[in-house]
Amino acid sequence: MVVRFLYRFRAIGAAAFSIGAFLLLWHFGTDGTELGKMMPGPWTVISGIFDTFSNPIGRHSILGHIGWSLSRVMVGYALAVIAGVSIGIFMGWSKIAAAVINPIYQMIRPIPPIAWIPLAILWFGLGESGKYFLIFLASFNNITLNAYDGARSADKTLIGASKMLGANDIQTLFTVVLPSSVPAIFAGLQVAVSVAWATVVAAEMVRSTEGVGWIIINGQEMNDTTQILIGIVAIGVIGFLLAVIMRKLEDILCKWSKSGR
């Protein structure tokens, strides 16, 4: 218990040191220098962030913009989880499904989400549906791949034992294959949530009136470097928090898979 506390304290201290060193480097790099004529220092940006909690940027405060972006991510991400886990497990379990679906999936997988923006606008217009579509695609690829790998790597001995004990294919799928795939699925979920967050920012830069992506593009139009950096910092902080939340969920829900390590 003491060792674990010391390890966590050391990790927090190292993180605080690295952030502090970065802020100092930023400060000295912009304080009275040529770079400082083009971008503000860290304390200006930090005070600007706190100011946006009460003074809105456009129609919303910084929390309102973050809320809009998160709501878009959650819709597309949830749809991707349902589709990606189902298709990935199905391909990993059925050789016929893999033969039919996998070639198409492998052609779609390398295409970056932003490459779909023109088609998303053409198919769904400039509303919310196009943003959901882009986030869905960005999340779907990672989730499907990990679910597929997880199902394929299921212990063949356990599958054979399950069938010897009288379990049919459906029972074996849900009692052996799916549980053994959970760690791999969560690895895909962690990557997917970060990619989804990055994708919503790109989608909001194309056409939107709210969201963290809009904060950046509006700052560019207003030639407001401080606002651009406020948007960038918000993206980084929320992306970090999303990753931490996903890791904590994995620790809680997959504790059984780590107990024997």
In this prediction, residue 5 has a pLDDT band, given cuts at 50, 70 and 90, of low
Q: For the chain, which residues make up each domain, given as ranges?
A: 1-38, 39-256
Task: Determine the length of the chain.
Answer: 261
Dump pLDDT digits (tens) for 52-98: 888 888 888 999 999 999 999 999 999 999 999 999 998 888 888 88
Q: What is the 3-state secondary structure (H, E, C) of the chain?
A: CHHHHHHHHHHHHHHHHHHHHHHHHHHHHHCCCCHHHCCCCHHHHHHHHHHCCCCCECCECHHHHHHHHHHHHHHHHHHHHHHHHHHHHHHHHCHHHHHHHHHHHHHHCCCCHHHHHHHHHHHHCCCHHHHHHHHHHHHHHHHHHHHHHHHHCCCHHHHHHHHHCCCCHHHHHHHHHHHHHHHHHHHHHHHHHHHHHHHHHHHHHHCCCCCHHHHHHHHHHCCCHHHHHHHHHHHHHHHHHHHHHHHHHHHHHCHHHHCCC
Lowest model confidence (mean pLDDT) among 114-128, 135-149, 243-257: 243-257
* Residue reference for tokens 């549980």: 179
In angstroms, rounded to a whole number, what is the distance separating the alpha carbons of residues 117 and 121? 6
Cα gap 45→226, rounded to integer Å: 6
Helical pair 2-30 and 42-51, crossing angle rounded to 10 deg: 110
- Please give the mean pLDDT across all residues of the chain: 84
- Give the Å distances, CA to CA, from 9 to 22, 129, 133, 188, 235: 20, 44, 41, 29, 26
For domain 39-256, say whether CATH 3.40.50.720 is its number: no
pLDDT digits (tens, 9 = 90+) for 213-237: 889 888 888 888 999 999 999 998 9
When pLDDT is cut at 50, 70 and 90, the band that residue 146 belongs to is very high
pLDDT at 2 (0 to 100): 62
More confidently predicted of 180 and 73: 73
| Amino acid letter for position 246 | M
Q: Which residue has the tokens 């971008």?
A: 39
- Which residues fall within 8 angstroms of residue 247, CB to CB, at 6 or more apart? 190
